[in-house]
Amino acid sequence: MDQAEYLLKLEQNLMTGSARWIADFTESFRDHTVDGIRFDMLLRAKTRVKGFFLSNIMSFFILPNYRAACFVCGSDQAKRGLRSLLAVMSRYMEAEALKWCWLVIPGHGSFPGALRKAVVRNDVREIGVALVDLDSQEIVTNSSFMGRRMVRHIRCFK
Amino acid sequence: MTTVAPLQLSNLIKSFIGLLLGLLVLWSGCGFLAVGDIIMPRGPLLRLLFLGLVLSISAVLAWVLYKNFYHTVLSYDENGFELQRGRGRITGRWQDFSDVSLFHIGRGQFVVRLYKDEGQFEEIPASDLKLDPSEFRFLVTKYVRS
């Protein structure tokens, strides 16, 4: 599977697929630049989902009203430095009042050991980071709740 | 210039059913106010004619309602676009916009949002126009960035 195809499937899964149980990803930007760093895709979400009359009422009273986002960035950018990516995301989260974020890094072939370690050791609670190997379909995430939660929603290879 | 103007059957049917129910409720209400009962013609032929008349009136009114509020026509080329929805009309040049996004408005319906620098945006209802929202988004992005 090539990266463009994966991005389309990921976008579809986040906006209309299983990820709607987590948040309502309503808006998708492609090739979006944030603080000078180009992200292949940026999806913005709210945790209060919309629906018909009764769903809206239930959603209003039960669900929290957080804003969230999912960043997708090429592996080349991530190999240059995960720290700078996370710093940009943190600033964006602060500016846009986001409660949590996902960072998906798709790539072909296995990722460098240093990058894998950096991802696994990332302990920022509000950011889930995932390395997605499109060849072997292996996904490595950080161990935070956000990281563990994102796996099933970004596993869209078929 | 490419023009897209598909018939939005769901909106047309929605208008038709709404008007049909509205007319029947109105007829019943008038009957109750006038004689205390629903006024129905006597005999099967007259009843069929009455039903045909109500259906015809609903269909004509639904078409007028659809044309004035829902029918969407999009014309575009590499320089700009013109979007007509019902009586409303928006025109724009791609170069006036700086960013493009795909926006999910619910129930699998998408619009393509065109952002200006000040954060204002215009929306092109890609799903209503029976366009592939993702493909159309890429096309618009190409026009905006070129």
Mean per-residue pLDDT, B38-58 = 89
Contact by Cβ (8 Å): A26, A49: no
pLDDT at B1: 85
Least confident of B36-40, B63-67, B90-94, B137-141: B36-40
Interface membership of A56 toward B (CB under 8 Å)? no
pLDDT at A95: 93
**Which has more pLDDT, B9 or A62?**
B9
Check whether B110 has a pLDDT greater than 90.
Answer: yes
Distances A37 to A69, A89, A127, A131, B72 between C-alpha atoms, Å: 16, 10, 17, 18, 38
Least confident of A131-140, B31-40, B61-70, B99-108: B31-40
Mean per-residue pLDDT, B11-34 = 92
Check whether B144 has a pLDDT greater than 90.
Answer: yes
Interface membership of B103 toward A (CB under 8 Å)? yes
pTM of the model: 0.86
Range of the domain at A132: 3-154
Mean per-residue pLDDT, A8-29 = 90
Interface membership of B71 toward A (CB under 8 Å)? no
Q: Of A11, A27, A30, which has the smallest distance from its Cβ to B141's Cβ?
A: A30
CB contact under 8 A, B104 and A29: no
Least confident of A44-48, A51-55, B17-21, B32-36: A51-55
Q: Of B101, B105, B108, which has the smallest distance from its Cβ to A28's Cβ?
A: B101
pLDDT at A31: 92
Return all residues near A28 (Cβ < 8 A) that are at least 6 apart.
A11, A14, A15, A41, A42, A43, B101, B102, B103
Compute the distance between CA of residue B126 and CA of residue B146 in angstroms, rounded to an integer: 21
Q: Of A15, A29, A30, which has the smallest distance from its Cβ to B104's Cβ?
A: A15
pLDDT at A52: 75
The whole-angstrom distance between A16's CA and the closest CA on chain B is 7
Interface membership of B104 toward A (CB under 8 Å)? yes
pLDDT at A13: 92
The whole-angstrom distance between B102's CA and the closest CA on chain A is 5
Mean per-residue pLDDT, A65-89 = 88
Q: What is the CATH number of the domain that holds A147?
A: 3.40.91
Interface membership of A29 toward B (CB under 8 Å)? yes
Geometric angle at alpha carbon A107, from A66 and A77, rounded to 5°: 70
Question: For chain B, what is the mean pLDDT?
Answer: 92
Check whether B42 has a pLDDT greater than 90.
Answer: no
CB contact under 8 A, A16 and B108: yes
CB contact under 8 A, A29 and B99: yes
Q: How many domains does chain A have?
A: 1
Interface membership of B119 toward A (CB under 8 Å)? no
Q: Using an 8 Å CB-CB cutoff, list chain B residues near A29.
A: 99-101
Q: Using an 8 Å CB-CB cutoff, list chain B residues near A8.
A: 134
- Of all residues in chain B, what percent carry a pLDDT higher than 90? 78
The whole-angstrom distance between A49's CA and the closest CA on chain B is 9
CB contact under 8 A, A28 and B113: no
pLDDT at B108: 87
CB contact under 8 A, A31 and B106: no
Mean per-residue pLDDT, A5-29 = 90
Q: How confident is the model at residue B26 (pLDDT cuts 50, 70, 90)?
A: very high
pLDDT at A58: 83
pLDDT at B65: 95
pLDDT at B66: 95
Check whether B112 has a pLDDT greater than 90.
Answer: yes
Mean per-residue pLDDT, A117-124 = 86
Interface membership of B106 toward A (CB under 8 Å)? yes
Q: What is the DSSP string of B73-128?
A: EEEE-SSEEEEEETTEEEEEEGGG--EEEEEEEETTEEEEEEE-TTS-EEEE-TTT
pLDDT at B19: 94
Question: For chain A, what is the mean pLDDT?
Answer: 88
Mean per-residue pLDDT, A130-139 = 90
Geometric angle at alpha carbon A6, from A2 and A10, rounded to 5°: 175
